[in-house]
Structure 1
Amino acid sequence: MNNLNIKDLDHLGIVAGIIDEMGLVEIIDEEVGTHPQEKLSVGTIVKAMILNCLGCINAPLYLLSEFFKGKALEYLLGEGIKAEDLNDDKLGRSLDKVFGVGVKNRFTKIVLKAAAIFGIEQKSKHLDSTSMSVQGKYKERIEDEEDEQTKAIKIKFGYSRDKRPDLKQFMLNMICSGDGGVPLFMQLGDGNESDKKVFPQIIKDCQERGSSGFAVEDV
C-alpha cells in the first residue's frame, strides 16, 4: 500500500473560497505591488492572517507558521507554499506595506466589492463607535513626521464604553449595512475623539463616494 499524506482542510477551505471569490488577494496586490521573485505576495499573507483569525483555535502572528503545519496549504494559499514561508519577518513587512498605502481606503474597496458580489443591500447603513481599552505605555506620535494617510492614532484617556476610565484607549468607528450588519467602513481614532466632531466628516466623505441612508448611534 502506498503511503498516505493526510492534511487538514476543515472549514478553512470554505473561508479561502469566499476570499478568492471576493478577489481580496488581487485587490491588495494591485494596490501594494508585487515582486517577481517573491514567493508570497502581500495579498496572500493577508489571506493567511484571515484564515488564522477564523480558525477554531488561532495563533499569535509570530506562531502563524505553526498554525498552518499539517494543513493543506497548497489548496488554501497556493502551489508550493509551505508553513515555514509564513515567518514573522515576512508578516511584519507585509503589514508595513498595507499600512503604507492606507488601511481605511483598502478596507472600504474590498468590502464594497464583496457586498456587490454577495448581494448585500446598502439602502440603509448604521454608523457607530466604540472604545478599545489598552494597557501599557505609549509614546506620543510626532506630528511633523507623518502625513494624513499614514499618521498613527493617539492612545489617550477618554469616555470609556466598557467602564474602564482608568485605562487609555483608542476609538473604532464603523459603518455597517442595514442588511445583515455587514461592516462597510472602518476607521480608527484617537482615544479622546468626539463622535459629534468625527461623525459628520465620516458621513460627508461617504456621501461624496455615492453612499447615503445613514442611521447614527450614540451621538
Structure 2
Amino acid sequence: MVKRQSLFIVATNKLDKDKLSDEELLKGYKGQHSVERGFRFLKDPQFVADPLYLQDEKRIMALLMVMTLCLLVYSALQWRIREGLQETGRSYPDQKGNPTQRPTARWVFQSFDGIHVPCAGQKRVVLNMKERRQTVVSALGPDFERLYVSHPT
C-alpha cells in the first residue's frame, strides 16, 4: 500500500535520454537543496562580519568565485568528517547533545570556537582541545591530527 505519492514536473532542454535519464534529472533537481543551504550559510550575518558593496562587475565575479570555492571546501570538509565518523564508528554530539555521525560543518566550526594555539618559536601548545573536538580531528585523519598536537619543546 502506498502511503504517499508525489509528482515532480521538471523541464530540461536535454532531450536525449541516453545522455540524461529521468532518474539522473530528478536526482540533480533534488540535490539543489544542499547548494541552496550552502549559499544561505554564506549570507548568514554570523558568517559575514560587515556588509560588502561592490560595483565593478569583475570584483563581483571574483567575490562570487571565492565564495563558491569556500562552499566547495565547506562541503568537502563536512563530507570528510561524516565519512571519518562512519568509518571509525564514532559519533559527535549535535546541538541537543545527541550523538550523530552526520554533524554539519557549521556546527563543528562553532564547537571549535575557543581552541587557542599560542606559539613561541618552536613551542606550540593547543589549549581547550576537548574529547569531542578530538573525535572530529581524528576522523579527518593524521594530517589534521598533527595540526592539533602540542609541541612544548
Scaled by the length of structure 1, what TM-score is found? 0.23
Larger strand fraction of residues: 1
Which has the greater radius of gyration? 2
- Higher RCO, 1 or 2 (CA under 8 Å, sep at least 6)? 1
